[in-house]
Amino acid sequence: MHALRLALAVALLPALSACGLRPIYAGGAQGAVAQGLAAVEVSPVAGREGWLVRNALIDRLGQGGANTAPRYRLDILLDDQLEGLGLLTDDTIGRERRTLRARYQLVDLASGVVMVDATAGSDAGIDVVSSEYATIAAEERALENLAQQVADRIVTRLTLALSAQS
């Protein structure tokens, strides 16, 4: 019985290699996708939320100190909304929702062609407490977390686009 399972497993190995799957980051830091991500120049983005998203993107794209000549430009427009949701019995807001949305385009600098035109976003719920300082701190922390999440989504989409190209 054990020999039959082993023979079946060995027989299926060629089928796995023919499935079409390939690692995105093949070649590590010298691979085509990693080199493509490092060659993305992130345009300045307005506002504190823009600063947070841009810095998160630069960290994730591997541009920290890299001397790679830019081949692509990433343009981003952000929309940051903070809205009150829950009303308490004394007509004060008891819960807020912070939403950060990004519309972004990856542009090939050599040809001017827009390679990716997409959106990414995330939202977070915030409890409004009696301490105004604590509420403001929670709103700022939510923005920091949302900037990280949006940057992750953008990098994932760029990775897929660059891996399809290679």
Burial class (CB within 10 angstroms; exposed 0-12, middle 13-18, buried 19+) of 15? exposed
- Residue 8 is predicted with a pLDDT of 65
Q: How far apart are CA 63 and CA 38, in angstroms?
A: 6
The torsion defined by the Cα of 126, 141, 47 and 86, in degrees rounded to 10, comes to: 10
- Residue 109 is predicted with a pLDDT of 94
Q: How far is CA 117 from CA 37, 46, 113, 147, 154, in A?
A: 16, 19, 11, 19, 11
Looking at the domain that runs over 32-165, which CATH code has it been given? 3.30.160.150
Q: How far is CA 38 from CA 64, 66, 131, 150, in A?
A: 9, 8, 43, 18
- Residue 52 is predicted with a pLDDT of 97
Q: 132-165 and 47-60 are packed helices; what angle lies between their axes, rounded to 10 degrees?
A: 40
Delimit the domains of the chain by residue range: 32-165
User: Which pair of tokens denotes residue 69?
Assistant: 């000549």
pLDDT digit string (tens) for 107-136?
A: 999 999 999 999 999 999 988 888 989 989
pLDDT digit string (tens) for 70-108?
A: 899 999 999 999 998 877 777 778 888 999 999 999 999
Considering only residues 150 and 6, tell me which one the structure prediction assigns the higher pLDDT: 150
pLDDT digit string (tens) for 131-145?
A: 989 989 999 999 999
pTM of the model: 0.79
